Amino acid sequence: MTPPFGERFAAAIAERGQFCVGIDPHAGLLHDWGLDDTVEGLEKFALSAVEAVAPYCSVVKPQSAFYERFGSRGIEVLERVIAESRAAGAMVLLDVKRGDIGSTSQAYAEAYLDPSSPLASDAITISPYLGFGSLLPFVEVARTHGAGLFVLAATSNKEGPEVQEATTSDEYGGRTVASAMLAHLRDLNGDARPVGSFGAVVGATIDGGFYDFAGSPINGPILAPGYGEQGGTAADIVRIFGASARHVVASSSRGVLRLGPDAAAMRGAVERANDELRSLLG
């Protein structure tokens, strides 16, 4: 049986550091690399990035939308990105942000987490904003296959607070929606060791005062996008997460990919980020 995602995640960041590279083939980046915005350009870009960074970071995070826009041939490239990243020793967190109910959630979960699927990844991002209970099919499939989930909680986009900082009714604790999502994750993870498999997405540039990560740790992995070029630092991660910072992977895409197609430069960016995070997070 596949060990639980939390166990594999803890081992990966201990061995390879706490930096996650987003492999996001924006049309502008393809152009900057001298490539056409075609499926051929996509394939060259994405697989070159995998070759440059996947052997040196703990987690890679392809954003599915940038592959889907090329249709079935783009999905074929995504399948290769997943397979080749894992073959290079990196965990794959597929950024799909799916969220639905019932059998549709079940189908999404099987598409991305069942090892029999060509898109099977170690973990995916999901949205809880149809109610946390709508995520239960994802939770069950993840448990069955030793996979992980990263639930959107407090994202760094400017529109996020409209929903995430709204207050729930007294029936649901009268707290912010983001805090409620984190509390659900804490309950799911329980006392799992070394860390649970059900994580959160919390931006590396947020204020951080909305939840007490020190007093009520979620005991799960945390994805912190916005690190690097978007302004988030290792010091911010310590400020926001406290002792839970040891379970954080800080994510950046453009800060690494803009250095391509120079593979050595991209690898150097991964190594510098891991060194900076290690110096403050231990």
Catalytic residue list: 97
Q: Which of 93, 282, 62, 108 is nearest to 199 (CA)?
A: 93
Q: Please, are residues 198 and 234 in contact by the beta-carbon 8 Å criterion? A: no
Based on C-alpha coordinates, what's the Rg of the chain? 18
Task: Tell me the two tokens of residue 89.
Answer: 């020793």
Which residues lie across from 20 on neighbouring strands?
59, 251
Helix (H, G, I), strand (E, B) or coil at 202: strand
Q: How far is CA 159 from the centre of its chain?
A: 19
Q: At what angle do helices 39-53 and 72-87 cross, to 10 degrees?
A: 10
What stretch of H or E contains 23? Answer: strand 19-23
Place of tokens 């800060």: 255
Alpha helices per DSSP H over the chain = 5-16, 27-32, 39-53, 65-68, 72-87, 102-113, 136-145, 161-164, 177-189, 234-241, 254-257, 263-281
